[in-house]
Amino acid sequence: MTLNQWQRRHLLSLADLAPWEYDIILQTSASFAEVLTRPTPKVPTLQGKVVALMFFESSTRTRNSFELAAKRLSADTLNFSPGTSALNKGETILDTAKTLLAMNTNLMVIRHAASGVPQQIAQECDRLGTNVGVINAGDGQHEHPTQALLDLFTLCQQLSGSSPQLQALQNRKVVIVGDILHSRVARSNIYSLRAAGADVHLAGPPTLVPRELEALGVHVHWELDPALKDADFVMALRLQTERMQQHFLPTLREYHREYGITRERLALCRPHVKLLHPGPVNRGVEVTSDLVDDPQISLVPHQVQNGVAVRMAVLYLLGTAKIT
């Protein structure tokens, strides 16, 4: 399959992405990663296009990397801030989207605390007969596709260098630790890692890692140490402290004792194990602070850096797709 065969206008979920589509995203991201090393790290690919950054929920990494990605592709950006928008005067989200459509927006990047909002806006764009592409930048507890894609790129890069290949992850053991049940990052990662043929293990308290998740082709562990045995990669998830009020979790101290990633625990993994975290990190809770900053172990800075190239690839593929 080649880049010309890309047929998606929206990126809302990774649930039905085919291996050849992941490969195209990885190859395109690698090309843009090379562009970003040039003295002038910019290309005219999306010149004249408008990218609306519609973040109805807080974000540091996703919002800034999408904005930088759009600018590196020479697109114009519209920065929508809900706090200072007409949403405060009662305008609906769909009317907000239609307002931005009327300004000839070509791509909408949407984050919202409620699952399904990007899908709703994409459906409305299609119903109106527009060619606008919608990208889910994290919706509620549903999915965070570009986070999983940048994680995938980072993992494959570790295994196959500057030209990351999906097949490099085949049978590699990846352990995802934490609140899987409520994590949009975990859900998207499970889809992409399974598509790559990775051996995916989930670990956390039974309240947050239900056995039913095994239907997704993964292994469930309620004890961390057995899960970590011979792991190639460990991905710690941000602990959402509001889950404590909902009695899904014991105290943070107890959580760290049972499920926190420490240097001692990483000794159970393979010798060259690497640690990932989507951020923001609760240092000393999901993972000890020294590990986050250890360049021999932590891939966190690589994840953030790769986020720009991967989001350039997604904007490029959706923004230039010839849908037949």
Which residues of this chain interact with ligand CP, rule CB under 6 A?
59-62, 138, 144, 147, 278-280
CA distance 192 to 205: 23
Which of 106/147 has CB closer to ligand CP? 147
- What CA–CA distance (Å, rounded) separates 292 from 277? 8
Q: Cβ of residue 308: shortest distance to ligand CP, in angstroms?
A: 13
Contacts with 244 (C-beta within 8 Å, 6 or more apart), sequence order = 250, 251, 252
**Whose Cβ is closer to ligand CP: residue 165's or residue 189's?**
189
239 Cβ contact list (under 8 Å, min separation 6): 178, 179, 249, 252, 255, 282, 285, 286
Least Å distance, CB 59 to ligand CP, is 3
Question: Pairing state of beta strands 219-221 and 107-112?
Answer: unpaired
The span from the CA of 69 to the CA of 50, in Å, is 12
**CB proximity list for 124: less than 8 A, separation 6 or greater:** 94, 97, 98
Place of tokens 């240092």: 283
Of residues 28 and 62, the one with the C-beta less far from ligand CP: 62
Write down the least CB distance from residue 154 to ligand CP, Å: 13
The smaller minimum CB distance to ligand CP, of residues 48 and 280, is found at 280
CB of 51 to ligand CP, least distance (A): 16
Q: State which residue, 168 or 181, has the beta carbon closest to ligand CP.
A: 181
Minimum gap (Å) between residue 116 Cβ and ligand CP: 18
Taking a C-beta distance cutoff of 8 angstroms, is the pair 304, 146 a contact?
A: no
The least distance separating ligand CP from the CB of residue 144, rounded to whole angstroms, comes to 6
Name which of 24 and 187 has its Cβ closer to ligand CP.
187
For residue 97, what are the CA distances in angstroms to 85, 106, 170? Answer: 12, 12, 40
The packing angle between helices 117-127 and 93-102, to 10°, is 50
